[in-house]
A and B are shown apart, each in its own frame.
Chain A
Amino acid sequence: MSFKKFWVIMSFICLLACNSSAVSVTDETGGQKEYLKTDFPGEKMDLSSIRLENCQSVVQLEKNLFLVSCRNPKKDSEKDYGLRLFLIEKIKGKPVIRFQSHGAGDSYYMKPSVFKNVKAEKPLIILAEAGAEFSYGIGVYLLSDLQMKYIGELDVTVNEDDTPSSAVPFTKIMQKGDELIFSFTKDLLMLQNNGEYITIPKDQIRYRYIGKRLEKTIN
């Protein structure tokens, strides 16, 4: 039985923050269509009451539900600092933090992209790409009924003009029940401890999630 037949292949739709071509659209994934168009950066939010700083990307998920990447100096420590991904709910016009991620360290930016299964309402899958001069990789989060959790890192990038760049536009997500498979449509770069990158052919790497953490498999 082929891999394709074995898995119930579902597609996820980029809601925002990534451009509409960001998701690999093929018949094999059942066909994908843009789910929602929202002006970027979405509704302007006053987050001064919760003392968030350097807010960048804002994604409006629902009327009163937002994803925002900001800094939270109150939360920073020596080992956990930098931009964080927040789930913000507006209650009676006031922002309430429902979730905040760990810090993205020395990253200059964090861009969340939101994907939704066309055949199931939840969870939403959020790919939060972060980096400085160049991309560092992608944090993966699941959101379901206001419950958000970090499941791991797609610690890969793609080579664009000799610069490690975001792999989000080349990421495919498939789901079978609670299992998620992340694969790619372009060869990837992976950073080694010596500061050099190696290239991994696109069909030789995938990440798998079965209820705990993302696990990387390289053939």
Chain B
Amino acid sequence: MSNAAITASVGKGGVNKHQDVVTIQKLLNQNIKAIAPTPLLKADGQIGSKTISAIEAFQRKVMGIASPDGRVDPGGRTIKKLGSAETTGIAWPLKTNVIRGRKNSNTFGMVRNGGKRAHQGWDFEAKKGTAAYAVADGTVEFIKNSGDYGLQMCMSFKYKGKTYYAFYAHMQKTDVKKGDRVSVKQKIGTCGKTGNASNLPASENHLHFEIRTQFNCSTGLGGRVSPISIYGKCPLNAPVHQA
């Protein structure tokens, strides 16, 4: 269920309040693949032919409406559908995403050492130098280099009305800096084997990836959720490829 909301109608013949238009433009951008070849919209709050055409394309292609009206009303079918498809605004952090070694012990929870130790995220197989991408539109919250997790990048993003943080660790380098706005699928750096991962053989190189619900997490699993709560599935046995 989506929390996406607007206060007044947006689109052809709509009230078109600035913030509502921005909301719709962002939602349309998150669904851009479904309405190809519609180009990405500038989320500027200005209603115009491009935004209206995008609404019509969404209504036609995603909702199956033969004669779209090009308008989004509060609580209406279009806003609900736009919101429910919000997950399309979430990307995977790599082009090929599969849990390291296809082992459950590299997923989230009390999965390490036979259930005696915690793992705070997912480990994705990633050779040194593999590009890593922003999982959503968001903001780089911090970049840190410490002994345990090595080079880390944390970005905040909105998902279903809530703020989450995607945390990338053991990176080789980052292409962004604190405070940068990043777009979904934007390359944010490359995977490496920094921190404690430096001890692993090359065959076990990986990206340690967490989804956090708090900026300041606890030392255990607290403040983190399984990434499955965002992605809906875990690529444990077969990789998920991202275009």
Contacts and interface: CB of A to CB of B under 8 A. Distances in A.
Interface of A: 53-54, 56, 79, 104-109, 131-136, 159, 161-165, 189, 191-197
A79 B116 CA distance: 12
B196 A131 contact: yes
Interface of B: 105-106, 109-110, 112-114, 116-120, 146, 148-149, 169, 195-197, 199-201, 208, 216-222
Nearest to B121: A133
Contacts of B113: 104-107, 136
A134 B219 CA distance: 9
12 contacts: A79-B114, A105-B112, A105-B114, A106-B117, A108-B197, A131-B196, A132-B119, A133-B197, A163-B148, A194-B110, A194-B220, A197-B220
B110 A133 contact: no
A132 B109 contact: no
B222 A105 contact: no
A136 B116 CA distance: 10
B221 A106 contact: no
Contacts of A196: 218, 220-222
B219 A163 contact: yes
User: Nearest 10 CB-CB pairs, A to B?
Assistant: A105-B113, A195-B221, A109-B199, A196-B220, A195-B118, A106-B112, A197-B219, A197-B220, A195-B220, A108-B196
B196 A191 contact: no
A108 B199 contact: yes
Contacts of B197: 108, 133
